[in-house]
Structure 1
């Protein structure tokens, strides 16, 4: 049984809980104080959860404060591997770092995760919390003029929208793709497209999810949209509609892609090779499709929705 198959219950996909959930705080109250040079962010360009951390790191100017290690997009039975020994952690496989922190761990070793160079142990693989920590606990190291991605006045609304997007869109595509029974698949696809329809209407009248400024909600939504037509539409059977069939959502995604933080962390080669080669449960042949041919640089025209 593969690690993903362990997460199938009643024909539906139930994502494993995050194993490491320690918090990095500005005051160090949890034993892991924020600070430059101490933490290493371990990611895959293929992974949507990891891409959101790379986007936030770039938007906030934390490149010098938090280093990055990137795994190979092809994952085998040993899990994520580094192209060569990671120069900071010394690991060949991500699993080495998981087992160093918890020798009894037998789940999927996931990205993103954060490793502490002082303790030489993993701190967290709690992906929703990693970007929030960058936005709040690392504020002293933000670049001048960095956006406020998690403004205090909007946090309840951002959290509420993020919760729906996570369950029905971000994780919803996985619920559809890994389902082994018709009922859970149908439920996941119906919920996914119901939310995409709501987002299409919302984005028809505003440039970003909360108006004129980027927020954490946009960062969380983008990686799923960026992968939608290339992977989820066919590979995960999310084929009621394509992203390009949604005028507002597709223009919104291109608008985000036009920003370096989004464009330069979107690697379609890594994305397609990871999903189609690694996930043999869904694609037994391992053949990587050539398409789709999409013009990501087509003018998006979203500037007209910004207030002047």
Structure 2
């Protein structure tokens, strides 16, 4: 698992930042190539297994999900990681939706805060601080079909309950949540 997590971290989690903050064309191109090499590797790896390490969610999946959840909304445009959108990579996109629909994942995503943070804070990349209106989020609720690969998210453990009232994301910030803070699919 450590090897997989290291590759995901270097190639994707920190890779999007190396692409986005590159100040020289050559460095941008090298980081861009490594980023999409990693995404292509993930697309291939996840074609035959439901989760990164096999049958159940592990820490590796949690680390990968945080970047995938932000990819189309922020990294694709804002960080110039624009070869392919996540929604155009069928396996990774289905994997991201599978995790999104799992308790503890989608019910903790505040899409409004994610976009506002990146587009407002990085004034060197976005001096106007304009936050884009898209992308549409409804496609996160489409069926993913990954159950066919077997496995179960939590193995013999229990799924977490809904977030507490203090941690609850509102439907205004994640339109796929109901009033109880659970993902509506």
Secondary structure, counterpart of 1:255 in structure 2: helix
Is the contact between residue 71 and residue 86 of structure 2 (CA under 8 Å) also seen in structure 1? yes
Aligned residue number for residue 37 of structure 2: 194
Instruction: Give the Cα–Cα distance (whole angstroms) in 1 for the partners of residues 140 and 16 of structure 2.
Output: 22
Secondary structure, counterpart of 1:261 in structure 2: coil
For the structure 1 residues 172 and 199, does the alpha-carbon distance in structure 2 shift closer, same or farther, using more than 3 Å as the test? same
Deviation at 1:260, TM superposition (A): 2.2
Match status 1:267 vs 2:110: yes
Aligned residue number for residue 147 of structure 2: 303
Aligned residue number for residue 171 of structure 2: none
Aligned residue number for residue 13 of structure 2: 170
Match status 1:258 vs 2:118: no
- Normalising by structure 2, we get a TM-score of 0.80
Instruction: Give the Cα–Cα distance (whole angstroms) in 2 for the partners of residues 307 and 258 of structure 1.
Output: 15
- Within 5 A, what are the aligned runs for 1:135-284? 158-284=1-127
Secondary structure, counterpart of 1:239 in structure 2: coil
Instruction: Give the Cα–Cα distance (whole angstroms) in 1 for the partners of residues 118 and 70 of structure 2.
Output: 10
Say how many residue pairs are matched.
Answer: 151
Deviation at 1:263, TM superposition (A): 1.1
Secondary structure, counterpart of 1:260 in structure 2: coil
Deviation at 1:292, TM superposition (A): 0.7
Deviation at 1:306, TM superposition (A): 0.4
For the structure 1 residues 254 and 181, does the alpha-carbon distance in structure 2 shift closer, same or farther, using more than 3 Å as the test? same
- Within 5 A, what are the aligned runs for 1:114-125? none
Aligned residue number for residue 128 of structure 2: 285
More helix by share: 2
Deviation at 1:270, TM superposition (A): 0.5
Secondary structure, counterpart of 2:141 in structure 1: coil
Instruction: Give the Cα–Cα distance (whole angstroms) in 2 for the partners of residues 242 and 166 of structure 1.
Output: 19
More strand by share: 1
| 1:56-97 C-alpha deviation (Å, 9 max, x unpaired) | xxxxxxxxxxxxxxxxxxxxxxxxxxxxxxxxxxxxxxxxxx
Q: Please tell me whether Structure 1 or Structure 2 has the larger radius of gyration of its CA atoms.
A: 1
Secondary structure, counterpart of 2:105 in structure 1: helix
* Residue segments in structure 2 that go unaligned for 5+ positions in a row: 153-185
Aligned residue number for residue 165 of structure 2: none
Q: CA RMSD, aligned part only?
A: 1.1
Moved over 4 A (4+): none
- Within 5 A, what are the aligned runs for 1:69-108? none
Deviation at 1:277, TM superposition (A): 0.8
